[in-house]
Structure 1
């Protein structure tokens, strides 16, 4: 197509999207771009290395996935009863700790201590997508308005505390959620900060890093210890995730940090009340116990499947060897 610059690619992509005439796709696209169409087109172009045809195909497939799975209504589908939602929050550790000085939301994720063992896969996927949609349709438009400029991405701080070999049993679920993100919420994370990394993570990272695309590798920053000193360069102390406040380095702060992944944290209270309110405005009574909101899982991209298999085989081999060595060394 003779595209020679990013501006031309954006322009050509926009013209192709304008030709989409199916009303359901046009409607759901509005929920995707939230008025920031240019930034949305750029995200999909980046995800496909600025190939307009591939980016167009990716976006159309994303819109069809949204329509086929009624994603536009997922923020009116509460996870009930409330005890089940509490169980999810106790086992799928994620929350909003605050914002960077540039206004980007900071999501804190307890990778090592998330067990994903309190409900079915569908509930965890439903919760994951609801957080994505709340971020994109409520949080980001709000902070964009507050800052007077488009803010369409976030920062994620990944806590590896407690990461164990048994986490391999969750690779399938994590692969499903990461594939959903890759295909339908591309380039929404500006930077990943990894903190409190134990030896097992270092072993994983050596396996994973060469398998990642360069664009993704550049986003991942493995910080020393709890990462506090580095993170304070981009956010205020009050917005540090609770797991990053260890090992004070000349700080006079002594306040106890709140675990933002807790169901009692304002973020999760606001999210849950938002979903419940939208359910009730449809004329429904208090939601009774119901099944999960089933979403069709896209086929994991080949690279992720291969990556998961490589991690599993490499680590099992590594730790089997360690166990054999330990037994030989025992008296």
Structure 2
């Protein structure tokens, strides 16, 4: 009896979600162009999930995102437009996935090299779009690994930049982040964190993980997300990470061509599952 009841409840939950997706799609009215391509069922589910399956709230969120995409045009950004922002490797896609096959973005705020907020956000959005483009089939989320090496009060990311980054991620790419792992942040970061955490909604806040090298629980958490043989030594693994900007640029240019071929919201047949599209060398140490 209990098995039948639980199975029925599970089916009802799926049916409810499907019905919510239908309601949200109907409430949006007639879409056109890139909005039609963007608003897949999977996309609508992510926006509903972000708003606890409240159709009205999800609709408002999605409409704001469609307006933002129409203005910002993330799908039109090409690597050559933001390459200067990436010269120091402050944000880049790793050539390894986590244990669930999710794309990994490595962020190194201590490598900040520019001051123009608009260009910084354009660079970040490009890499988010590229990370999504390279997700393996059946996977919708990415992981952020944040390395605080070289971070100090003199070169930290301004609060305005952090706030805008959070806004873009949680409001325009809902449920795309699986985890943001802050690796070995210095004590000075605590003051910065007390400010920026208030810009996060509860769902995003819960995905932020603080990790410290000498902490046993932190080590276990990293092992739960990554194979240590793939993980760079900067994050407690045994691999060597080298950022080669020229190689990264070459591979991003290749992805730009693939993105034009497959279009918005689509992925290539073999979307980077073996790391072949990545632009960093990560090799096991001898």
Partner of 2:35: 28
Instruction: Choose from 134, 137, 150 the match for 1:139.
Output: 134
Structure 1 stretches of 5 or more lacking a match?
Answer: 145-149, 247-252, 281-331
Aligned to 1:49, what secondary structure does the other structure show? coil
Q: Distance in 1 between matches of 2:76 and 2:192?
A: 37
Report matched runs for 1:107-126 at 5 Å: 107-111=105-109, 113-117=110-114, 120-126=116-122
Q: 1:88 to 1:62 in 2, by over 3 A?
A: same
Partner of 1:178: 166
Report matched runs for 1:4-43 at 5 Å: 7-18=15-26, 20-24=29-33, 27-31=34-38, 33=40, 37=41, 39-43=42-46
Report matched runs for 1:93-104 at 5 Å: 93-104=91-102
What is the aligned length?
A: 246
TM-score, normalised with respect to structure 1: 0.63
TM-score, normalised with respect to structure 2: 0.72
Q: Cα RMSD over matched residues?
A: 3.2
1:71 matched to 2:74? The reply is yes
Partner of 2:208: 220
Instruction: Choose from 48, 58, 61 the match for 2:61.
Output: 58
Q: 1:187 to 1:16 in 2, by over 3 A?
A: closer
Whether the 8 Å CA contact 2:85–2:113 is kept in 1: the answer is no
Q: Distance in 1 between matches of 2:222 and 2:203?
A: 21
Shift of 1:22: 3.3
Instruction: Choose from 236, 256, 260 the match for 2:227.
Output: 236
Q: 1:79 to 1:133 in 2, by over 3 A?
A: same
Whether the 8 Å CA contact 1:100–1:236 is kept in 2: the answer is yes
Q: Distance in 2 between matches of 1:14 and 1:215?
A: 24
Report matched runs for 1:166-205 at 5 Å: 166-167=154-155, 170-205=158-193
Shift of 1:99: 0.8
Whether the 8 Å CA contact 2:98–2:104 is kept in 1: the answer is yes
Q: Distance in 2 between matches of 1:278 and 1:221?
A: 32
Q: Distance in 2 between matches of 1:210 and 1:125?
A: 20
Could you report, residue by residue, the CA deviation over 1:107-158 in whole angstroms, capped at 9, with x for unpaired residues? Answer: 22112x13242x633332222121122222x202xx11xxxxx200011111
Whether the 8 Å CA contact 2:112–2:157 is kept in 1: the answer is no
Q: Distance in 2 between matches of 1:178 and 1:105?
A: 19
Q: Distance in 2 between matches of 1:225 and 1:90?
A: 24
Of structures 1 and 2, the larger Rg is shown by 1
